[in-house]
Amino acid sequence: MRAMVLERQADIDSAPLVWRDLPDPEPGQGEVRLRVRCCAVCRTDLHVIEGDLPARGLPRVPGHQVVGIVEALGSDCAELRVGDRVGVAWLRHTCGTCAFCRGGRENLCEAATFTGYHADGGYAELAVVPEAFAYRIPDAFEDNAAAPLLCAGIIGYRALQRAEVPPGGTLALYGFGGSAHVVIQIARARGLRVLVVSRDARHAALAKRLGADWVGPDAADMPGLVDGAILFAPVGHLVPVALTHLQKGGTLALAGIHMTDTPPLHYETHLFYEKNIRSVTANTRADGQALLAEAAAVPVRPHVRRYPLHEANIALQDLKHDRMQGSGVLVVGA
């Protein structure tokens, strides 16, 4: 198979992903092999490639928003069949027996492994995934629209749940990339008022088209306090800003896997009156299933920019430098 391979961590502007021929992977016990149709790019891929996250085995095929067709089954597969269309997300495996797994919080499992990080992912013509961690893709979505839902969508969905905005309440979104442009569609369908803080004119324009009630570059100009907020931008100095503009009892959800350092917080200004801060760590399979069902019902329509698989470096450079609206999707065979 052909794949884009990370051989050493480096700045994406140096084009560290290399177009390689690799042996076709064989599915093991309880695994399926997919013929990959597309794979969305994600800021987490940048963190893996550029070394914000420590390497977990190189060379590695990145990518964890994969849509493909099952073409081979390993032993003991009972749910999927050859020809099924499925998706692969960031969470790849958990132990299933620890207190976190038993308590419905498998995203916190100490033994968790992740697609495109601990094992090869979807920047390739073929990919292998444990059957239990593959998601059936609703018919409502074409391949390119489904791919961004498998991380940007799932993490945004979990962040929205963690923000606990009451019915009819107001949600603030800080940053408006791949996750936020999915979340706003779900939030609007739930009847929430949505305010978007974005300094990028193109992202701001997309937020307006998707129904934001207010869009601006400075939270100080927002029309009032909000009931909940999600910080998508991996910028620590925005944490006190977002807390300042929270209503009493409001919750700020931090959606990034990596963030710059947070400055000191002033207790009375930022935390008093029972304001809450919640981080978001990966996702559970239940999050993924719930997101796909709700997104299909809305229906959510991700805005995508397509790239041939071999242009993965270019797609990630565009992501890093905010040159794309919505989500970038690598298309196999394009």
* Residue ranges of domains in the chain: 2-150+282-331, 154-279
DSSP 3-state of 7: coil
Hey, do 2-150+282-331 and 154-279 end up sharing a CATH topology, with the first three levels equal?
no
Hey, what amino acid is at 28?
G
The overall average pLDDT reported for the chain is 96
Supply 192's token pair.
């929430």
pLDDT class for 242, splitting at 50, 70, 90?
very high
Evaluate if pTM is beyond 0.85: yes
Residues 153-189 have pLDDT tens digits of 999 999 999 999 999 999 999 999 889 999 999 999 9
- The four Cα atoms 291, 292, 294, 296 give a dihedral, to 10 degrees, of 150
Residue 326: its pLDDT value, please? 87
Q: What's the maximum distance between 2 C-alpha atoms anywhere in the chain?
A: 59
Residues 1-22 have pLDDT tens digits of 999 999 999 999 999 999 999 9
Spacing of C-alpha 316 from chain mean position: 14
CB 19 within 8 A of CB 29: no
In CATH, which superfamily holds the domain spanning 2-150+282-331? Answer: Medium-chain alcohol dehydrogenases, catalytic domain (3.90.180.10)
Residues 287-316 have pLDDT tens digits of 999 999 999 999 999 999 999 999 999 999
pLDDT class for 334, splitting at 50, 70, 90?
low
> Bridge partners of 134?
88
pLDDT class for 256, splitting at 50, 70, 90?
confident
Residues 49-88 have pLDDT tens digits of 999 999 999 999 999 999 999 999 999 999 999 999 999 9
* CB proximity list for 221: less than 8 A, separation 6 or greater: none
271: left (phi over 0), alpha (psi -120 to 50) or beta: alpha
The closest alpha carbon to 173, from 209, 202, 205, 216, belongs to 216
Residues 324-333 have pLDDT tens digits of 888 999 999 8
The closest alpha carbon to 66, from 41, 32, 30, 29, belongs to 41
Residue range 154-279, CATH number: 3.40.50.720
* CB proximity list for 195: less than 8 A, separation 6 or greater: 170, 171, 172, 173, 212, 213, 214, 215, 222, 223, 226
Residue 199: its pLDDT value, please? 92
